[in-house]
Amino acid sequence: MDKELIKVCEAKAQAWLSSPVYDAATQEEVRRMLANEDKTDLIEAFYQNLAFGTGGLRGIMGVGTNRMNIYTVGAATQGLSNYLNKSFKDLEQIAVVIGHDCRNNSRLFAEVSANIFAANGIKVYLFDDMRPTPEMSFAIRQLGCQSGIILTASHNPKEYNGYKAYWDDGAQVLAPHDTGIIEEVNKVQAEDIKGLKTTLDENNPLIEIIGEEIDRQYLEKIKTISIDPEVIQRQKDMKIVYTPIHGTGMMLIPRSLKMWGFENVNTVPEQMVKDGNFPTVQSPNPENAEALSMAIALAKQIDADIVMASDPDADRVGMACKNSAGEWVLVNGNQTCMIFLYYIIKNRIAMGKMKGNEFVVKTIVTTELIKAIADKNHVEMYDCYTGFKWIARQIRLNEGKKQYIGGGEESYGFLAEDFVRDKDAVSACSLLAEICAWAKDQGKTLFDVLMDIYVEYGFALNQTINVVKPGKTGADEIKQMMVDFRANPPKELAGEEVVLVKDYQTLKAADHKGNVTDIDQPEPSNVLQWYTAGGTKVSVRPSGTEPKIKFYVEVQGEMKCPKCYADAEAKAMQTVEGVKNSLGL
């Protein structure tokens, strides 16, 4: 083990023992780490300060500077308070919204943050219980706040928690505020945190508890997204199975579906229990088949039409439907996003709702078929970076000039409205049910709709390959992989020549003939893309929230009929395997 690193970690740990700020239980755990001959726990807890990145904090809960605890959360809140007091110094009263999910310690972290904001003279609207992330985004705009935070680690395993910061437009913070907040957070020492206490100061006039009234306003706005209420009336008995996977979706999604007119919503009882340990799943991630297994079992039992699931903070939606053979299959994030935008564009045109100034947004790693759908229907499409703050930025840039009608990303996030500025599973589940009703009205399933898209716009298979590298050594390995790929980009992928390389770090694109062009994005990002002569696209980027490097592979082809799907998929999978071999994965 690195002796110098151990020394650094021991010094940081000793500082926690010598300061009166840290409570007795925390100091006892620090003593245990110091006394342990195996210094792994000590290093992982103290080798760095948990970075307040552009998305906020996310990490394993526990004691130490590299862990989510009341002190790291407190420092983040104090830094954000300092930045807000500087940025809005002329405002009579600065205000923030605080939301949280179902995770262990989320309520504690929310209440600690409320006390600190209030101690810094900032008005706090604190939700009375867990709520979906998109509702917190909505509340910022609805209540005229300058910022908001949500305590959530989204779909990460139960050991994790997180802290996301939002600006006055209801979106996650972007430049220059992101770096400005990070600078303030990095200046904060534990001794600087005002009002750091673990019980909520309920008598503080600056802390106001909110709940039902905002729920009602939010759900009423979501109901306005419905494109064809009549089709819902005709198919109101359609059987829906929904699971919140123990998370915040249970607060509003069944209620929203009912408000839209769906009368046969079946929830998974064991997963309608608020629990930060997520006892019925290995991981509360709607991308994973295992997380939907109980919902699919119920769907088989009652012969349902659709299965939908939201992650713990209800910003992402996963779904399953029956294929042409009547078997339940998962619909991935790329397909879900494509179905949403296909339905929105097609039916807004059919209902005469298009004015000609509409636009949609996708991320650079999301399927290119969306561009094909938008182009063919003369709808403007923007490509942006991964993360909904970039989609929100595009909405803000076009505000008052063009009409946003939908945007999404391959990681199961979709936003159908502009009064929220983050992905929204509450509206997505409601709209998904409408799409299913529209399909059923024509004697089709969602799977049939997907096949229709492939026949009309071309086939694409998307697969994400995650290479997990935990801890400090893993982070170093991921960094080196990106360096190596930049130095030696692949010449071929699955036997096809690489004809275009895009490097978002330098914002330059170079083709195989040596021509170099600029990439139009607002700032550099650690992403590489390779395009082959046969239409395959591979994107690679380190995850911003988990210890992994992600490879997004898209293989394009054609599908002449719905029955050709299996062949198109098998052929594309061979190419995916070839890509993996070419990259040594």
pLDDT in tens, 453-506: 999 999 999 999 999 988 878 888 899 999 999 999 999 999 999 999 999 999
Residue 314 and residue 202 share a domain: no
Burial (CB count within 10 angstroms: exposed 0-12, middle 13-18, buried 19+), residue 579? buried
Return d(Cα 318, Cα 242) in angstroms, integer.
10
Q: Please report whether residue 85 resides in a domain.
A: yes
Average pLDDT over residues 271-296: 96
Residues forming a β-bridge with 363: 384
* Lookup: tokens for 458: 């071309």
Average pLDDT over residues 526-546: 91
Q: Give me the pLDDT at residue 568, please.
A: 95
Residue 258 and residue 164 share a domain: no
Return d(Cα 83, Cα 80) in angstroms, integer.
5
Q: Give me the pLDDT at residue 474, please.
A: 86
Q: Please report whether residue 166 resides in a domain.
A: yes
Q: Give me the pLDDT at residue 53, please.
A: 80
Return d(Cα 436, Cα 413) in angstroms, integer.
18
Side chain identity at 79, as an amino acid letter? G
* Lookup: tokens for 317: 């939606």
Identify the three-state secondary structure at position 208.
strand
Q: What is the CA 457 to chain-centroid distance, rounded?
A: 27
Average pLDDT over residues 299-313: 98
Residue 249 and residue 176 share a domain: no
Render 163-203 in DSSP notation, one character per residue: EEEE-TTSSBP-TTHHHHHHHHHHH--GGG-TT--SS--TT
Q: Determine whether 310 is an active site residue.
A: no
Q: Give me the pLDDT at residue 267, please.
A: 98
Contact in structure between 565 and 455 (CB atoms under 8 Å)? no
Average pLDDT over residues 142-170: 96
Could you tell me which of 226, 231, 124, 110 has the C-alpha nearest to residue 161?
A: 110
Q: Please report whether residue 40 resides in a domain.
A: no
Residues forming a β-bridge with 321: 329
How sure is the predictor about 544, in pLDDT bands with cuts at 50, 70 and 90? confident
Q: Give me the pLDDT at residue 1, please.
A: 62
Last residue of some domain: 183, 216, 249? Answer: 216
Residue 248 and residue 126 share a domain: no
Average pLDDT over residues 393-413: 96
Residue 391 and residue 401 share a domain: yes
Q: Is the pLDDT of residue 522 over 70?
A: yes
Render 449-504 in DSSP notation, one character per residue: HHHHHHHHH-EEEEEEEEEE--HHHHHHHHHHHHHHHHHS--SEETTEEEEEEEET
Last residue of some domain: 457, 489, 518? Answer: 457
Number of C-beta neighbours around residue 350 at 10 A = 11
Q: Give me the pLDDT at residue 26, please.
A: 96
How sure is the predictor about 54, in pLDDT bands with cuts at 50, 70 and 90? confident
Residue 249 and residue 211 share a domain: no
The per-residue pLDDT of the chain, averaged, comes to: 95
What does the pLDDT look like over 179-238, one tens digit per residue?
999 999 999 988 999 999 999 999 999 999 999 999 999 999 999 999 999 999 999 999
Residue 417 and residue 285 share a domain: yes
Q: Please report whether residue 89 resides in a domain.
A: yes
Q: Give me the pLDDT at residue 546, please.
A: 74
Return d(Cα 359, Cα 382) in angstroms, integer.
8
Last residue of some domain: 430, 457, 484? Answer: 457
Contact in structure between 196 and 173 (CB atoms under 8 Å)? no
> Total structural domains in the chain?
3
- The CATH number covering residue 342 comes to 3.40.120.10
Catalytic pick among 106, 154, 256, 430? 154
How sure is the predictor about 24, in pLDDT bands with cuts at 50, 70 and 90? very high
Residues forming a β-bridge with 511: 500
Residue 477 and residue 394 share a domain: no
- The CATH number covering residue 504 comes to 3.30.310
Residue 167 and residue 93 share a domain: yes
Q: Give me the pLDDT at residue 10, please.
A: 94
Return d(Cα 459, Cα 560) in angstroms, integer.
9
The structure's pTM equals 0.94
Residue 179 and residue 146 share a domain: yes
Q: Give me the pLDDT at residue 545, please.
A: 67
Q: Give me the pLDDT at residue 2, please.
A: 83
Residue 240 and residue 145 share a domain: no
Residue 269 and residue 258 share a domain: yes
Q: Residue 575's domain spans which residues?
A: 459-583
